[in-house]
């Protein structure tokens, strides 16, 4: 049994403000990329609803290392009888959405064959998850999380990860196991977006934040000094237009415009020459800073679970052989 924990490839970042600032800048893009991969041409709220149903259905598997290993690879899909249904009310509560919105959207997805009503609630059946598109999306997400792991490890942003408690074959390609852990991470973040507004408000704020800062260097910038706080100065942010924002999130322009208007009225988002920014003042508020701090903790939890499963040791060994 492999017993050592992964070691960051870069020198650890010890300053907590700087670490949180870099983690926030990189991980918001990572999170939104995972949602975009799962969304395809669909609506972002439907994507998160399906993700929440899947996570509830396989919660027992996610908690148990032996089942994570047993159902790790692309062709190893848990059967329907292992899936725990989730009720409409529990689903609405998990994403802080109105019950009627959830009931209407899930009923539509059941009619389209994406979900199934069973005794106790709703499931996403094995037959749906066995479709080739899910495997293709799983591979894209696998590659995205592996690239992100290398990126944050090189920057010294990961530390104190636990050693493996399970051992995967060195030739394993654990797409399904990683998809379950990534899905849990995305939903933990989504559940905290109520601090910003409703679910779509929160996603819009994250997308504007990502768009404002994605041009910055991946590592520390000249202004990233100790006690410098999280926010990048407003003059260094690149605005995004509402049209581009709607396209990135895959929502109608009018929906994006309406939510943006509400965020501007609450001074969460600001219109400047060229489009929208999330100003430094907003990022310094306890509510949004709390979301970013919580995200950092959830990210550590994700990589801790990947480490315990033995995935990071395999990925590190691939780098060392390259």
Overall number of domains in the chain:
1
The DSSP 8-state label assigned to residue 232 in this structure reads P
Residue 144: predicted pLDDT: 96
Reported as a single tens digit per residue, the pLDDT across 286-321 is 888 888 888 888 999 999 999 998 899 888 887 766
- Measured CA to CA, the distance from residue 169 to residue 106 in angstroms comes to 38
Element (H, E) at 269: none
H helices, E strands: number in the chain: 15, 4
Residue 219: predicted pLDDT: 63
Question: What mean pLDDT value characterizes the chain?
Answer: 87
Q: Which of 35-39, 178-182, 190-194, 300-304 has the lowest mean pLDDT?
A: 190-194
Band of the pLDDT at 208, cuts 50, 70, 90? very high
Residue 8: predicted pLDDT: 54
Q: Residues 56, 137, 33, CA angle at the centre, nearest 5°? A: 85
Name the 3-class secondary structure at 20.
helix
Residue 2 lies in a domain: no
Residue 216 lies in a domain: yes
- For residue 73, what are its two tokens? 């690879």
Residue 307 lies in a domain: yes
Residue 318: predicted pLDDT: 79
Residue 10 lies in a domain: no
- For residue 48, what are its two tokens? 């998160």
Short-list 205, 214, 213, CA closest to 267: 205
Residue 1 lies in a domain: no
Residue 198 lies in a domain: yes
Residue 7 lies in a domain: no
Short-list 291, 212, 201, CA closest to 251: 201
Short-list 276, 322, 278, CA closest to 150: 322
Q: Which of 30-39, 115-124, 208-217, 226-235 has the lowest mean pLDDT?
A: 226-235
Determine how many CB atoms are found less than 10 A away from the CB of residue 75.
Answer: 10
Range of the domain at 76: 16-321
């Amino acid at each position: 049994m492999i017993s050592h924990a992964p070691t960051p490839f870069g020198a650890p970042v010890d300053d907590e403000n700087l670490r949180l600032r870099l983690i926030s800048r990189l991980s918001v893009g990572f999170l939104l990329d995972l949602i975009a991969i799962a969304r395809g041409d669909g609506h972002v709220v439907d994507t998160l609803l399906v993700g929440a149903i899947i996570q509830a259905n396989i919660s027992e598997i996610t908690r148990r290392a032996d089942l994570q290993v047993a159902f790790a690879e692309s062709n190893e899909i848990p059967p329907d009888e292992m899936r725990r249904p989730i009720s409409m009310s529990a689903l609405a509560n998990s994403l802080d959405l109105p019950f009627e919105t959830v009931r209407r959207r899930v009923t539509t997805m059941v009619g389209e064959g994406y979900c199934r009503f069973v005794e106790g609630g709703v499931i996403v059946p094995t037959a749906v998850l066995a479709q080739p598109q899910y495997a293709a999306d799983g591979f894209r997400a696998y590659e995205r999380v592996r690239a992100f792991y290398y990126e944050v490890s090189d920057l010294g942003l990961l530390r104190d990860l636990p050693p493996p408690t399970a051992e995967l074959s060195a030739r394993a390609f654990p797409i399904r196991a990683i998809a379950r852990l990534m899905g849990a991470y995305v939903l933990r973040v989504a559940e905290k977006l109520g601090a910003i507004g409703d679910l779509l408000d929160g996603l819009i704020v994250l997308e504007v934040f990502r768009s404002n800062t994605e041009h910055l260097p991946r590592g520390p910038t000249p202004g990233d000094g100790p006690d410098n706080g999280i926010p990048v100065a407003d003059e260094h942010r690149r605005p995004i237009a509402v049209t581009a924002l709607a396209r990135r999130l895959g929502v109608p322009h009018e929906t994006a415009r309406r939510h943006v208007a509400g965020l501007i009225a609450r001074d969460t988002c600001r219109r400047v020459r060229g489009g929208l920014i999330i100003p430094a003042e907003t990022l310094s508020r306890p509510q949004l800073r709390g979301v970013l701090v919580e995200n950092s903790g959830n990210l550590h939890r994700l990589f801790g679970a990947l480490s315990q499963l033995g995935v990071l040791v395999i990925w590190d060994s691939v780098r060392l052989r390259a």
